Structure 1
Amino acid sequence: MKAKNSKTYVGLTLKGMLMGAADAVPGVSGGTIAFMTGIYEELIFSLKQCGLTALQILVKQGIKATWQHINGNFLLAVFGGVLLSLLTISRAVLYLLDNHPILLWSFFFGLILAAVWSLVRHIKKWNLPLILTFIIGAVSAYYITIISPTSIESTPLIIFISGMIAICAMILPGISGSFILLLLGMYAPMLTAIKELQVFTLVIFASGCATGLISFSHVLSWMFKHHKTKTLALLGGFMLGSLNKVWPWKETIETIIDRHGKEVPLVQKNISPFVFETLNNQASYLWYAIALFLFGILLVILLEKMGSPDSN
């Protein structure tokens, strides 16, 4: 890996913070942000290095050699930013999700739509297998977004397994780890654990995340090494299919009462802003939504420049 200066590490931390803020929202993937900012492949490679070989190097050569082997400074900067964001910025994102969902979803809709273009433009020549791969990715992600959430008991084993599954989704562009937690019925319990700093629960969840990251990163690294173009097509399809989840105007079909006695949506369907106004007797904020949609697209362009070789 190319040597980095302190300014570059500050940039990596900021990108990590953007990833953390995105991962707090059910429907938006931190992996999407990682890809747009140009750190995705290095992230996957660095995570892959954190395996048995790293343990052998640790025993034989010590901490310094191990740190270099796993690209430790890079991982520390990125995941430090993710953690910092989850403890700070994510609170603001969750506030907007509760109080101004249409505006927040509009912004993310524009961001993800532009991110699809940002990803697939790296595919220079399309053919039938690539088109089919893209369609498979889109259909798979769409299907995930329409699955009805479930509710399971938050046992240590379930928390560990949830961490493994969710973190794999979080590093896949287009598949939201938070939404996977929502489907598993673990989204609210994990948010509560973060807000209340429930150390035991967080340690178990983090252990599951670490296990999932190290395991799944090997798969992704192999895919990028041997089938990069098809992998890009698949991930682009994932992002396109996930747009179903972030459509701003929804009709709530079914609700549940959470542990705080608050009624929250469980099953929703997408509707037009005009139908939304009629059903709910409230403004659709259409023009504000369009403005934030365009801002999301603009942000992708800026993130692309952050991720260009000239900016690193």
Structure 2
Amino acid sequence: MRENYLGAAIKGLLVGGTMLVPGVSGGSMAMVLGIYDRLIGAVSSFGRDKKRNFLFLAAFGAGALCGMAAFARPVLFLLKAYPLPVSYFFLGAVAGGIPLMIKKSRVSRFSWRLPAYVLLGGALVWLLSRLPQHMFSLPWRGGAQSGTAGILWGFALAAAGAVAAVALVLPGISVSYLFLMMGLYDTLMEALTRLYLPFLLPLGIGLLAGILATARLLETALRKYSQQT
């Protein structure tokens, strides 16, 4: 089947822009846009068709990065100027994708186990939201640290990226909210608006490593246990 790389880039742009809002899940938005399964498959089965998967991920990733860079300032402005309307708009967009998720799960009849899986997923999100505030933040103000402190700072950012990768892969978990809980959201938004690479590179490396580690497990779960997942 012919790959629509332009469509992947446009959807990446939308996912990248909206996932900057705390509470909005990039995974859920990707599912609403109908690109979620393709993303997980491209990452977890990358070696089966390297060229096609690489071009697809490159198109989506480029779109997502452009979306994050382009929408960082407008999203910050709208959230500060109109916090409730903007938050409810994105909440409605995600809620509108719930019927699609139910359809994808192929639930044919009700089982008492289904609410248990919903509660389990809710508990996971709650536990992630209870991470200590500023867990990964370091005393950085406007520039990268030097020497040993700079190395530790880079490793801390990579670790934060690996943790946040779970929120990127799993629908329903907001990566921005997770960054907020870790005390990195404001610094991330500032780094995006300034394209400050000493901050973004280690964070991105951690995100990539976390996604690669999580995607294959999630693809297996979605294939074998679609309703539960």
1:50-88 deviations in Å (ceiling 9; x for gaps): 4xxx4xx9xxxxxxx7323xx122112211110110111
CA distance in 2, matches of 1:118, 1:94: 29
Compared CA separation, residues 143 and 213, structure 1 to 2 (3 A): closer
CA distance in 1, matches of 2:162, 2:134: 17
Within-5 A mapping of 1:237-252: none
Partner of 1:115: 97
Structure 2 residue 5 is the aligned partner of structure 1 residue 3: no
CA distance in 2, matches of 1:146, 1:104: 24
Deviation at 1:171, TM superposition (A): 2.3
Partner of 2:200: 202
Q: RMSD in angstroms over aligned alpha carbons? A: 2.0
Gapped runs of 5+ residues in structure 2? 141-152
- Please tell me whether the aligned partners of residues 20 and 86 of structure 1 are also in contact (alpha carbons under 8 angstroms): yes
Compared CA separation, residues 162 and 146, structure 1 to 2 (3 A): closer
Flag the structure with larger Rg: 1
Partner of 2:27: 31
Deviation at 1:148, TM superposition (A): 6.3
1:286-312 deviations in Å (ceiling 9; x for gaps): xxxxxxxxxxxxxxxxxxxxxxxxxxx
Gapped runs of 5+ residues in structure 1? 58-64, 232-312
Compared CA separation, residues 146 and 162, structure 1 to 2 (3 A): closer
Partner of 1:46: 42
- Please tell me whether the aligned partners of residues 18 and 30 of structure 1 are also in contact (alpha carbons under 8 angstroms): no
Partner of 1:137: 121
Partner of 1:124: 107
User: TM-score under structure 2 normalisation?
Assistant: 0.85
CA distance in 2, matches of 1:197, 1:112: 28
User: TM-score under structure 1 normalisation?
Assistant: 0.63
Q: Which is strand-richer, 1 or 2?
A: 1
CA distance in 2, matches of 1:29, 1:173: 6
Percent of residue pairs identical: 26
Within-5 A mapping of 1:59-208: 66-68=50-52, 71-122=53-104, 123-125=106-108, 126-142=110-126, 144-145=128-129, 149-150=133-134, 152-153=137-138, 155-208=153-206
Structure 1 window deviating more from structure 2 (23-32 vs 134-143): it is 134-143
Deviation at 1:197, TM superposition (A): 2.0
Compared CA separation, residues 143 and 209, structure 1 to 2 (3 A): closer
Deviation at 1:202, TM superposition (A): 1.4
Q: Secondary structure at the match of 2:209?
A: helix
